[in-house]
Structure 1
Amino acid sequence: MRTLWRIISGPFRWCWRLLNFIREFILNLFLVLVILVAVGFYLQLTRSAPEPGKGALLVDLTGTVVDKPSINNRFRQLGKEFLGASSNRLQENSVFDVVQMLRQAKDDANVTGIVLSLKDFAGADQTSLQYMGKALHEFRDSGKPVIAVGDSYDQTQYYLASFANNIYLTPQGAVDLHGFATNNLYYKSLLEKLKVNSHIFRVGTYKSAVEPFIRDDMSPEAREADGRWLGQMWQHYLDQVAANRKITPEQLFPGAAQMLASLKASDGDSARFALENKWVDTVASRAAIEAVLSKTFGWNKQKNDFNAVSMYDYPLKTPAQQGGQIAVIFASGAIIDGPETPGSVGADTTASQIRDARLDPAVKAIVLRVNSPGGSVSASEIIRSELAAARESGKPVVVSMGGMAASGGYWISTPANYIIASPSTLTGSIGIFGVVNTFENSLDSIGIHTDGVATSPLADIALTKTLPPEFKEMMQISIESGYRHFLTLVAKARGKTPEEIDKIAQGHVWLGSDAKTNGLVDELGDFDTAVAKAAALAKLDDFYLQWYIDQPGLIDMLMMQAGISVYGQLPAIMQSWIPAPASQLSKMLSSQSGPFMTLNDPQNRYVYCMTCGDVK
């Protein structure tokens, strides 16, 4: 019997030993890989970058430009070296790093000019574009040439290209100027067909964030309000680009009918059309453009290209740390309760950073950079109260508004000593809402029912049941109370009465220029203006910026970079299976449902601007 058991159990023992060996081998191999990568990272971080020779700075922007990238630029570059390049469209660049680079290049004797190659530039908000444009203008005013080259330019790329001394376009290229638009999905009919009951609680005539649940189209009030700020934003774009091209805004964009007539007169040749309308300076082949760049910047025989260094290989110098500290804290993305996640403002994380700056004796002032459409009421209040505590401690607080500081983004800005917005900042949207969807009718239609007992109507709350009238009344009371509190906060901060604020509130979105007129912001300017104001309020002659940015750990960086690489490939694969209209619909659904998937207010109360980030 024992012999028989040995014969039967023998193969299983050997298989188990083999599995243990494989498991230990894989774990050891992974450990060795982590050690090698860590050593490589250390060597890269400590390696001094070679000093570039004389030539152009190639501004080959790849991906998007944001206030606060999900991964620090230095870590991302290292990740690309070790793990391979991720999708260009997913890469994020810090607008502050780009501006620092352009200003450093202006004073760098080795940089004799700039070449803008923007084919992989995926976009930025208007405020970031204006800030980068300002730095390009400073570079150009120093006497060094700025040359833009491209096979085509979309509207965002062309904005930056317009700051160049010369814009080159290839013969089959085009400049795409079409204006701005916003588009949202409305699904009232869909919810009705699915028998979903949407319970909406809101205050604010213009609070359009809940309209997709209760309408199949845009309300007249929302259309009027959005049309106003969108038209003003487009006019700001035209004014700046036209000034750069030394033509009038009407010459730059005479309207769709006139542009169509001019394109017909050019026999449909979009490059010739762009040249005749003074959108570009020269139409030439790639070889001819390369000859011009070679003549301007010299030829590098080793690289077999004109003398240039990519912006991603151009080493940024660390500014001298002299004088008092000005803390720069970011609030970029939807405002949520709890810790920060990529692309969101975590109330706990941001409040902790503000608290650290408040308690640090080296910090003499705080600049809060807000680029947020808002989010949770409770999360916004946590951040606001901590910022108020910083101001009460005697440290000046200045808010620098980015592309948007609307609704909850404005809520957290109210304690500031001074608020500075760009003319194109979307702000205001002072309103509040709540949404609760219940599915009792949906489940009833397929034969599923919910029943039970409760000690109180307020205890009998479930997504599978009709909301009790008492709960709905309580929610509306809570929403109205939150709105009154919002008005009071703004009125106290801006030196007005709640009634005066109510007239410009009601969820109304304002562009920065109108917000200044309405007294919601103190000054129109950019990040430089905010820093200068913080230094003046703190009475600092010498100062340096202390950036409060959490750096990911090695494992976090590896996982994030690997994830980006995977996501960079998946869309191309999936879209080859899905018809183009379905693919576009999927993107719109994702962009609109994303905020509601992450918002987590414990009372279901939100101060959020749905349309602020959807300008195309």
Structure 2
Amino acid sequence: MHFLWRCISGVFRWTWRILNFIREFILNVFLILLILVCVGIYFQMQTKPVEPVKGALLVNLTGVVVDNPAISNKFSQIGRELLGASSNRLQENSLFDVVDMIRQAKTDPNITGMVLSLNDFAGADQPSLQYMGKALREFRDSGKPIFATADSYSQAQYYLASYANKIYLSPQGVVDLHGMATNNLYYKTLLDKLKVSTHIFRVGTYKSAVEPMIRDDMSPAARDADNEWLSGMWNNYVATVAANRQITAEQLFPGAEGVLKGLQAAGGDTAKYALDNKLVDGLASRSDVENLFTKAFGWNKTTKDFSAISMYDYTPPAEKKSGSEIAVIFADGAIMDGEATPGNVGGDTTANQIRDARLNPKIKAIVLRVNSPGGSVSASEVIRSELAAARAAGKPVVVSMGGLAASGGYWISTPANYIVASPSTLTGSIGIFGVINTFENTLDSIGVHTDGVATSPLADLTVTKALPEAFSQMMQINIENGYKNFITLVAKARNKTPEQVDAIAQGRVWLGTDAKKNGLVDQLGDFDDAVTKAAELAKLKTYQLNWFVEDPSFGQMVLGQLTGSVQAALPSAVRAMLPESLVRISALLKDKTDWMATLNDPQNRYALCMSCGDVK
């Protein structure tokens, strides 16, 4: 018996030692990797700037373009070089850095042209594409040629490529023009099967954010409204690209039947179809493209490639800055209470930035860049009130709307002296809703019950019991009051009556062009127009922009790069073992549920547009 216990204890002892060894080994590997990353970043920051190269600016955009990236382009590039992670499509690029770089290159004598290499460009919202396109047009009009190349073109990639003098496509490639669509998941039946009680409180015929929880399909009102703005956005896309290519809109995209006929005529060859319909200027392999660009820009013996400098290595000539300042503050992402988190707007963080700008005597005006579907009513009001205080202090406030400025995004825009929106901005969605889920029936089905005593029905609130009727009535009154406050704010800001605002509100989403017609915005334009207007209102002849961008700490940058590397490596390994259909479903579920993290309003009230940002 003693021998048996010795054997058993020996097995456990050696198992414990092995587990300790594995734990220490993993921690040591992580520590070594962390040290190497830190040392690499240090030496990378000490390196001298890349010597000027006479040749092309290689715009090899990787990942997505956003207003305010979580980590700067420079550190994302360092992370890829150090860690070797194939995380290109995870990278975020600053829209304003990209545009500024193109404009600086326009007057740089070392830059003789541009190559748009778009294989790794994952996309941007349409107003951002339009703003980049404006800079590309300025570059081309300066007399410097632009060439575009890709193995295949997505719609976003092709939008930028259409500004090039020449577009080249791989002989096996495709220009994937298919139109636009927006889809949502509806799970009323799932909630019913799980016996989840969903309590919805809302105001607005078109406030479709709650429809997934109360329906299994899109309501007719939401369908009609979404179809209107989606069709307008697609028409804007087609009109711009067709004009760039100097072809008709029907030739660019003849509809599904027209595309099928064209493909049949081309024998199913998508590249030949693109060439025959003047979507591209030539079919060329990578080696052919290299030869073409070598003739245009020369050969670099060091890199053994055509003479060019990557946009991530390019350092534009320094500009002299003078004059007063115009603050540029970002509201990029869903609005939530508290401090900002990556991809979300923190009510306290943004309000503090506005306050700092208000109290800074050098700052004479504020441009608020809004790209948000909305979120917490409480956080939106914190931002709005601080912006109103800045205007009351005599500092003009101009709102520049990006791809989205809906619901809470419009709420925070109301104090502005002037609102500028892109023709393809999605805005409006003036409405409020509340959502509370309770699980008393779910628990009851497995034999778990809740009971207790309370001094009043309003005190007896728990997700394990049905909502008291008194609380439900109070919640609906609260929501209706919030909606009344919303339309009153809009009416006062836009010089309308509450009744006039109510007629165009009700949670309905408007495209920028229609928002202008309905008086929700003052001008159709871009960020440049907003800055010009701010300078005009502040009576500034010379000025510089003060970008309110919070730089991440060194530790956050290192951790961010490590996280990005893991995210880049793990999914590919996992996908290799999973059916592709399951991978797509899991990705869709993640996209649709991430927004739950932003629902932290203390009164459970939200001004949020759930569907207007999901355009494919």
TM over 0.5: same fold?
yes
> SS of the residue aligned with 1:531?
helix
1:392 positional shift: 0.4
Cα separation, 2, equivalents of 1:426 and 1:294:
43
Give the match for residue 235 of structure 1: 235
Map 1:98-497; keep pairs closer than 5 Å: 98-497=98-497
Give the conservation status (yes or no) of the 8 Å contact 1:320–1:544: no
Distance 1:357 1:529, change over 3 A: same
1:592 positional shift: 1.4
Give the match for residue 96 of structure 1: 96
Distance 1:505 1:567, change over 3 A: same
1:302 positional shift: 2.4
1:108 positional shift: 0.7
Cα separation, 1, equivalents of 2:584 and 2:437:
26
> SS of the residue aligned with 2:545?
strand
For residue 434 of structure 2, what is the amino acid of its counterpart?
G
CA offsets, 1:417-440, max 9 Å, x none?
100000000000000000111111
Give the match for residue 8 of structure 2: none
Cα separation, 2, equivalents of 1:499 and 1:390:
28
For residue 424 of structure 2, what is the amino acid of its counterpart?
S
1:316 positional shift: 3.5
Cα separation, 2, equivalents of 1:539 and 1:463:
55
For residue 111 of structure 1, what is the amino acid of its counterpart?
I
For residue 154 of structure 1, what is the amino acid of its counterpart?
S
Task: State yes or no: 1:605 paired with 2:612.
Answer: no
CA offsets, 1:235-283, max 9 Å, x none?
0000000000001111211111111011101100101100111100111
For residue 556 of structure 1, what is the amino acid of its counterpart?
Q
Give the conservation status (yes or no) of the 8 Å contact 1:383–1:412: yes
For residue 442 of structure 2, what is the amino acid of its counterpart?
S
Cα separation, 1, equivalents of 2:597 and 2:186:
17
Distance 1:170 1:80, change over 3 A: closer
Cα separation, 2, equivalents of 1:291 and 1:43:
35
Give the conservation status (yes or no) of the 8 Å contact 2:37–2:558: no
Cα separation, 1, equivalents of 2:504 and 2:34:
59
1:42 positional shift: 5.0
CA offsets, 1:162-205, max 9 Å, x none?
10000011211110000000010000111111111110000000
For residue 416 of structure 1, what is the amino acid of its counterpart?
A
1:599 positional shift: 1.8
Cα separation, 2, equivalents of 1:345 and 1:424:
22
For residue 276 of structure 1, what is the amino acid of its counterpart?
D
> SS of the residue aligned with 2:367?
strand
For residue 257 of structure 2, what is the amino acid of its counterpart?
A
Give the conservation status (yes or no) of the 8 Å contact 1:322–1:544: yes
The number of aligned residues is 599
CA offsets, 1:479-532, max 9 Å, x none?
000000000000000000110000000000000000000000000000000111
1:43 positional shift: 5.1
Cα separation, 1, equivalents of 2:287 and 2:566:
36
CA offsets, 1:34-58, max 9 Å, x none?
5x86665455445441332211111
Give the match for residue 519 of structure 1: 519
Distance 1:261 1:37, change over 3 A: closer
1:318 positional shift: 4.4
CA offsets, 1:358-405, max 9 Å, x none?
000011110000000000000000000000000000001100000000
Cα separation, 1, equivalents of 2:324 and 2:40:
35
Cα separation, 2, equivalents of 1:254 and 1:563:
44
> SS of the residue aligned with 2:435?
strand
Give the conservation status (yes or no) of the 8 Å contact 2:457–2:470: yes
Give the match for residue 528 of structure 1: 528
User: TM-score, normalising length from structure 1?
Assistant: 0.94
Cα separation, 2, equivalents of 1:512 and 1:134:
18
Give the conservation status (yes or no) of the 8 Å contact 2:74–2:312: no
Cα separation, 2, equivalents of 1:285 and 1:354:
51
For residue 127 of structure 2, what is the amino acid of its counterpart?
T
Cα-Cα RMSD: 2.2
Give the match for residue 7 of structure 1: none
Give the match for residue 557 of structure 1: 557
CA offsets, 1:193-223, max 9 Å, x none?
1111110000000000000000000000000
Task: State yes or no: 1:508 paired with 2:508.
Answer: yes
Cα separation, 2, equivalents of 1:255 and 1:39:
55
For residue 349 of structure 1, what is the amino acid of its counterpart?
T
Moved over 6 A (4+): 26-29
Distance 1:460 1:91, change over 3 A: same
For residue 374 of structure 1, what is the amino acid of its counterpart?
G
Cα separation, 1, equivalents of 2:75 and 2:354:
25
Q: Extract unaligned runs of 5+ from structure 2.
A: 1-12
> SS of the residue aligned with 1:176?
coil
> SS of the residue aligned with 1:315?
coil
For residue 168 of structure 1, what is the amino acid of its counterpart?
Y
Give the match for residue 572 of structure 2: 572
Give the match for residue 4 of structure 1: none
Cα separation, 2, equivalents of 1:540 and 1:48:
37
Give the conservation status (yes or no) of the 8 Å contact 1:86–1:564: no
Identity %: 66
Give the match for residue 3 of structure 1: none
Give the conservation status (yes or no) of the 8 Å contact 1:55–1:297: yes
Cα separation, 2, equivalents of 1:579 and 1:439:
33
Distance 1:466 1:326, change over 3 A: same
User: TM-score, normalising length from structure 2?
Assistant: 0.94
Distance 1:365 1:239, change over 3 A: same
CA offsets, 1:331-374, max 9 Å, x none?
00000000000000001110000000000001111000000000
Give the conservation status (yes or no) of the 8 Å contact 1:205–1:221: yes
Cα separation, 2, equivalents of 1:82 and 1:275:
40
Cα separation, 2, equivalents of 1:389 and 1:171:
59
> SS of the residue aligned with 2:164?
coil
1:543 positional shift: 0.6
Give the conservation status (yes or no) of the 8 Å contact 1:425–1:512: yes
Distance 1:245 1:417, change over 3 A: same
> SS of the residue aligned with 2:576?
helix
Cα separation, 2, equivalents of 1:317 and 1:434:
51
